[in-house]
Structure 1
Amino acid sequence: MTTPGTLGARVRTGIWWSALNNLTLRLGTLVTGILLARLLDPEAFGVFAIALTVQTALMTLSELGLAADLIRHGDIDRRGPTIATLSLVSSGFLTVAVLLAAPAFADFFAAPEATAVIRVMALTLLLAGIGVVPFARLQRDLRQRELFHIELVAFVLSTGLALGLAVAGWGAISIAIGRLVSQTAVVVLQFVLTRTRPRVGWDRSVAWSGLRFGLPLSLAGLLSLGLLNVDNVAVGRLGGVTVLGLYSIAFNLSSWPSSIVGTAIRAVAMPAFAEIHRSGTGDATATLARACGLTWAVAVPMSVGLAVLAHPVVTILYGERWAAAATALVWLAPLGALRILIDVWVAYLTAHGRSLLLLGCQLLWFLSLVPAMWWAVQGRGLAGAGLAHIAVASLVAVPAFLVALRIAGVGSGPVVRALGVPLAAAVPTVGVGVLAVTALDDPWLQLSVAGLAMSGVYALAAGPHLRRLTLDDAPADRPPPPTAAASTVGSHRAA
């Protein structure tokens, strides 16, 4: 069994590699997006956004939460063939369904030109289903260095094809073809680096336990993606393809913190929480509170800085014709910090087998967001979409997840207190940034002066708190006191 100390070292190494992966690829994606924005018009971006909305939603459903089941349980050699069979059947069925239903999806968004793009993107569903077992093995073993190399190869292929075909005048389908080729490379490299080959098999007990855990998790993931795409539906239906293109730029920018910080943490949090849960060591509340405190302290300045500097960021990166996207980015940026925090909670609930609790939280969030989003977009346009997101996430999702964590045995008090200092430090940080942006007219000056001022204020206000968190030993790396151990064992039995 892996000792907690070894686990802590693996987690730290995994986070560094995952952060490097996401930072490198995010910067590369940013440059690619800028080049594509110069080559394509907002309408083409809107068409691709429609195809991506369909593909990402169905990608989660096709996988049935089976990768997470393998990561949580381990024993991949025994469980893998059955899980591979389930994933292959599910992804194959959905691929065929999307190929046939592509015209209907395109008509729903009032964009018939998206049909071909949706069909190309549908093929990535089957590829992802084929690679579920080697992907789970890499994730469970925290092999983030190998995953970085895989993503780097995929990024080079995807970017090269997308830019080349866009220059040749292929339009939105150029991005889709790049995604398809890169997904093919990802699956091949996953099998090569894990030194495995595709294997299918059937074990009824494995299939039943995998579906019992994975189906609620898959539905929760589908709802999570729905939360991030219901705005695309509302904006596309009410504003048209061009407005959707503007909104997609704003949403992509708002996702920077989640992509860089959140994805790095997600890659290691669930395997680490699962290992701690299996070993029965550590105080669950203290471990989660510290993880939330570190994550939140990094996510808050990135998100509030992006909100305050929305206009200069958009105009500098994409040009004045995309300036309207800043209207949505102002409100979408804070959502990025909340998404990162909730991702930590999702990883904890998943690792502890609480997929039904997770499904309940996501369902409540989704049912609250749909009417709020439709009403807000009708009344406030692009800004309304961002407002609806941040309001529902703050007032509905966060309380719901705190209740779920309490049911799972985590005290909400320490978790909430861990968020206080970064949130308080954000107040003067935003104030200084708004003053600097208002006083200056040139976007470059706004970005540089306000960015430096905000960084300095936040460092002064939250720096000592962040330093204490990073220097303190992780609770998982030292034996828990007897009382904590007793309470933890109780929560394990309940799970």
Structure 2
Amino acid sequence: METLKEKTAKGLIWGLMNNGSTQILNLIFGIFLGRLLTPSDYGMVGVLTIFTAIAGNLQSSGFTQALTNMKHPESRDYNAVFWFNVIVSISIYTILFFCAPLISLFFHQPALTELSRFVFLSFVISSFGIAHGAYMFKNLMVKENTVTGFAALVTSGIVGVVLAINGQSYWSLAWQQIIYITIINIGRYFYTPWHPTLHIDLRPIKKMLNFSMKILLTSIINTLNSNILVFIFGRLYPIKAVGSFTQANKWNTMAYSFLSGTMAQVAQPVMAQVTGDNERERRVFRKMMRLTAMLSFPAMFGLAMVAEEFILLTIHEQWLSSVPLLRILCIGGAFMPLYTLYQNLMISRGRSDIYLWCTVVQIVIQIAIVVAFAKFDMQAMVWAYTAGNIVFIGIWQYFLNKLTGIRTTEIMRDICPFMISAAAVMAAVWPLTAPISNLWLLLICRFILAAVLYLAIMRLAHAEILNEAIEFVKNRKKR
């Protein structure tokens, strides 16, 4: 039998492969689509994100986390979640179908009526695979998720590029979403031994409802928090400007979700297994925190440093206006994987109430900040939003201390050395490489020099988490 450490390591390895392949494919197809489409095309689909995301929250209703926290969920539990999701998603789609003209009126874009009705089909399709996804998540089937995600990204990406080449503009992005979720569902059905029955019994939902409803409300609020800027920008600015922000936010999200997505695939299942053993829980959480900080800060600060040459080399001058926005977002993005760990610990402890209220307070503060800075330009609003997200980690840390006894000073010792080292490396590399005029050479030199300097600092500082990671890889090769 594998130990928890081995299961966690295996999950992280497959998670890294999953998210690594995901981001590489997203990068490749994102470059093609960025060159073929305009900021306005991205803006059209971008303003609909908040509606599809909230609809997705409503249909899943936090049952994935509820099933994961159950010791031994039965077939009838999964079946109840399956039918609940299907019924709710069809109901939501019906409402949004008739609200589509109001959405287009709000954003001053008549074409959004037809486009939104098509895009909203994505969450109806996804509802048929949520219970299967919960089964795979519960059982740490990260390898199977990797294969499924790879197939979905390749297929949907090719469809999107072909449609864009044939002049389908924003419809290529819409079809890409639909194809992606369809392939994901096919993969889930193929790998999952459990399948739904036609017997509809929603009674098991009742025992999950108290926990899952808090997760649902929290997910909706998180979605509002993540998309509030796009929503406000869509109302205040031309659709082209919204597209520039959407492009910057896309690259930022792709970068930090590589790590936060990897951690999310193992954090809650692992933390749920050590709940009750306080000392072991503290040790596991802090080790995850150090690993996350070691990877997140150099990756995100590095992307901020090379943002201009990256945008110019990949999607060209038409997206140059997204560069300053990308730099700002990357600074906040470095902290987002840390949020993932805090949130998953709360969920594994069954404290969805803390998860809910922390998120409620956060979105209220963020909306207040955005409204207060609405009289300024887009960059000022993004700066304020980013600063608010960083500062609010302190609130999550307060509750972490109450639950586990992990002090703020301990967390600071875990993350600050990596944050300071990454910032110092980028500050040193920037002027050293500034005289290089060739963009490709500049990008390569900055990447290599920053990576070498950062690793050298970690080795000289005898970073324990780096040594453990290297030792684990060596042991696997010996096997």
Instruction: Say whether the fold is shared (TM-score over 0.5).
Output: yes
Contact kept? 1:131, 1:190, Cα under 8 Å: yes
Per the TM alignment, residue 466 of structure 1 is displaced from its structure 2 partner at its CA by 7.2
What are structure 2's unaligned runs of at least 5 residues? Answer: 470-479
One-letter amino acid of the counterpart of residue 232, structure 1:
V
Q: Does residue 17 of structure 2 align to residue 51 of structure 1?
A: no
Residue aligning to 1:268 = 266
- CA 1:142 to 1:343, structure 2 compared with 1: closer, same or farther past 3 Å? same
One-letter amino acid of the counterpart of residue 407, structure 2:
S
One-letter amino acid of the counterpart of residue 340, structure 1:
P
Contact kept? 1:216, 1:359, Cα under 8 Å: yes
Q: Does residue 379 of structure 2 align to residue 371 of structure 1?
A: no
Structure 2 CA distance for aligned equivalents of residues 16 and 294 of structure 1:
13
- CA 1:32 to 1:203, structure 2 compared with 1: closer, same or farther past 3 Å? closer
Structure 1 CA distance for aligned equivalents of residues 462 and 245 of structure 2:
34
Structure 1 CA distance for aligned equivalents of residues 194 and 206 of structure 2:
24
The CA deviation string for residues 409-461 of structure 1, in whole angstroms up to 9 with x for no partner, is 34233223211210221232131133135434443233222222322222222
30, 35, 39: which one pairs with 1:33? Answer: 30
The CA deviation string for residues 158-212 of structure 1, in whole angstroms up to 9 with x for no partner, is 11221122222222122212221231222232122113322354353x3222111
The CA deviation string for residues 109-158 of structure 1, in whole angstroms up to 9 with x for no partner, is 22222222221221121222221221111111111111111111211221
Residue aligning to 2:352 = 355
Local SS of the residue matching 1:255 = helix
Residue aligning to 1:402 = 397
One-letter amino acid of the counterpart of residue 201, structure 2:
W
- CA 1:304 to 1:216, structure 2 compared with 1: closer, same or farther past 3 Å? same
378, 388, 393: which one pairs with 2:384? Answer: 388
Two-structure CA RMSD over aligned residues (Å): 2.0
5 Å matches for 1:134-213?
Answer: 134-199=132-197, 200-202=199-201, 204=203, 206-213=204-211
328, 333, 336: which one pairs with 2:330? Answer: 333
284, 305, 310: which one pairs with 2:281? Answer: 284
Per the TM alignment, residue 462 of structure 1 is displaced from its structure 2 partner at its CA by 2.8
- CA 1:410 to 1:187, structure 2 compared with 1: closer, same or farther past 3 Å? farther
One-letter amino acid of the counterpart of residue 107, structure 1:
L
Per the TM alignment, residue 470 of structure 1 is displaced from its structure 2 partner at its CA by 4.3
How many residues are treated as equivalent by the alignment?
A: 466
Per the TM alignment, residue 353 of structure 1 is displaced from its structure 2 partner at its CA by 0.8
- CA 1:464 to 1:271, structure 2 compared with 1: closer, same or farther past 3 Å? farther
Structure 1 CA distance for aligned equivalents of residues 349 and 356 of structure 2:
14
The CA deviation string for residues 359-393 of structure 1, in whole angstroms up to 9 with x for no partner, is 11111111111132244354132x22431232101
Structure 2 CA distance for aligned equivalents of residues 99 and 455 of structure 1:
49
Q: Does residue 425 of structure 2 align to residue 426 of structure 1?
A: no
Per the TM alignment, residue 465 of structure 1 is displaced from its structure 2 partner at its CA by 5.4
Per the TM alignment, residue 336 of structure 1 is displaced from its structure 2 partner at its CA by 1.5
5 Å matches for 1:306-345?
Answer: 306-345=303-342
Contact kept? 1:83, 1:210, Cα under 8 Å: no
Per the TM alignment, residue 464 of structure 1 is displaced from its structure 2 partner at its CA by 5.1
Structure 1 CA distance for aligned equivalents of residues 240 and 42 of structure 2:
8
Instruction: Please say which of residues 406-415 and 113-122 is displaced more in the overlay.
Output: 406-415
Local SS of the residue matching 2:47 = helix
Structure 1 CA distance for aligned equivalents of residues 462 and 386 of structure 2:
25
What are structure 1's unaligned runs of at least 5 residues? Answer: 474-495
Local SS of the residue matching 2:426 = helix
One-letter amino acid of the counterpart of residue 245, structure 2:
Y
The CA deviation string for residues 69-120 of structure 1, in whole angstroms up to 9 with x for no partner, is 1111141424212222322222222122222212222322222222222212
Q: Does residue 233 of structure 2 align to residue 232 of structure 1?
A: no
One-letter amino acid of the counterpart of residue 128, structure 1:
S
Contact kept? 1:436, 1:449, Cα under 8 Å: no
Per the TM alignment, residue 471 of structure 1 is displaced from its structure 2 partner at its CA by 4.2
